[in-house]
Amino acid sequence: MKPKFQLLLVFCIIAVTTRAQQDQPTLFNYGDPPPLLRVREWIKGTPVQSFEKGNVYVVEFWATWCKPCIAAMPHLSDLAREYKDTVTVLAIDVYEKKTTSTERVKAFVGGIGDRMDFHVAAEDTNFTVHDWLDAWGEKDYGIPRTFVVNAQGRVAWIGHPKDLDTVLRKIVNNTWDIKEALSKRSFNTYLKELDLEVFSKVHRYAGDYNKLDDLGKPDSALLVINEMVKKEPRLKYAPVIASFTFSALLRTNTHKAYEFGKGVMVTPTYEEPAYDFIIGDIEGDSRKLKIPAEIYRLGAECYQAEIDHAPYSELVDIPGQYRKMAAWYRLAGDKSKAMEAQQKVIKLERAKNH
């Protein structure tokens, strides 16, 4: 599947999922009590029947097929040991394939040993996902997904386990501002919904990916985007808008594209900075356009940023990314940077083979 087409397809799927979620009558939010803890079976640890006030709970949703979930487990175990007197960490297995039996899940948990040093349960297929991920508007984020219930018996945070450290410390120390967190979450949801609207309004101007002479209508795309950003300036660097804006600028004014791309790299919105979207646009549009050196340099810097910010480096093809980075630095005319990146490829591959 081609990079740009794949990017647009992902946007479309997310947009459809989000609109479907908006039809739900009720979504809970920070400050609300957690759902009942309804599971089919406890696999490891003492069963947790309810959330007791005075104790903090981390509820992690995972599956045996989910590589990021598995990568997060050792750190969750470290946190469980660090906060053993005040925090109960439990993981609920969800979204398993129909062919995956409870016995197979038990074998997985037993095989992973101390890397899952916390309570583990299997979902009740009638309730768990519905009560938690669906009802709290988290289904489209997938797994791993982490809920934290504070000592007052309220859901205080939901997010990716990679971001748990600082949040959990503040919740345990009673310095977490749940109202501020609620305001930020509500704004991020609002911004994401606006950002996803761009797809339906702008993708028609992107041009046919398979026709190399079809550059679409970038001026029309920028006109629509500028109107949206004028109404909500904080949308400027949001991932979907960033992708369409950068691609349209590549086709109209490459230096403006470069300046915009530099802004994207340092500006998180409802998600991390859209490094991968910039990379995807450069890869896709290089088939149709003569890409200048500064844009290839920007793309190489995005690869480095992706490597630096990868939550679980073992899941990333880092040698492959350095190899692409070296190629783009060569196209940018920077032989020194290209050689530096290539040396990292050699070093990593040697380490892997020993």
pLDDT digits (tens, 9 = 90+) for 55-74: 999 999 999 999 999 999 99
Least confident of 153-167, 205-219, 234-248: 205-219
DSSP run (H or E) holding 109: helix 102-112
| Per-position DSSP letters for 29-60, written without gaps between them | -TTSPPPP--EEEEEESS---S--TTSEEEEE
Q: How far apart are the first and last CA of the chain?
A: 34
Mean pLDDT of the chain: 91
pLDDT computed for residue 86 by the predictor: 96
136 pLDDT band, cuts 50/70/90, is very high
pLDDT at 2: 46
What sign does the dihedral 96-100-102-107 (CA atoms) show? negative
Give per-residue pLDDT as tens, 63-105.
999 999 999 999 999 999 999 999 999 999 999 998 999 999 9
* pLDDT tens, residue by residue, 23-57: 454 579 999 999 999 999 999 999 999 999 999 99
Query: Model pTM?
Result: 0.87
Helix 275-285 with 254-265: angle, nearest 10 deg: 160
Task: Please determine, for residue 341, whether its predicted confidence score (pLDDT) is greater than 70.
Answer: yes
Confirm if 158 and 138 have CB atoms less than 8 A apart.
Answer: yes
Q: Which residues contact 282 (CB under 8 A, 6 or more apart)?
A: 250, 291, 295, 296, 298, 299, 328
Strand 87-93 relative to strand 56-62: parallel, antiparallel, unpaired? parallel
Are residues 312 and 73 in contact, defined by beta-carbon separation less than 8 angstroms?
A: no
**CA–CA dist 131, 38 (Å, integer):** 9
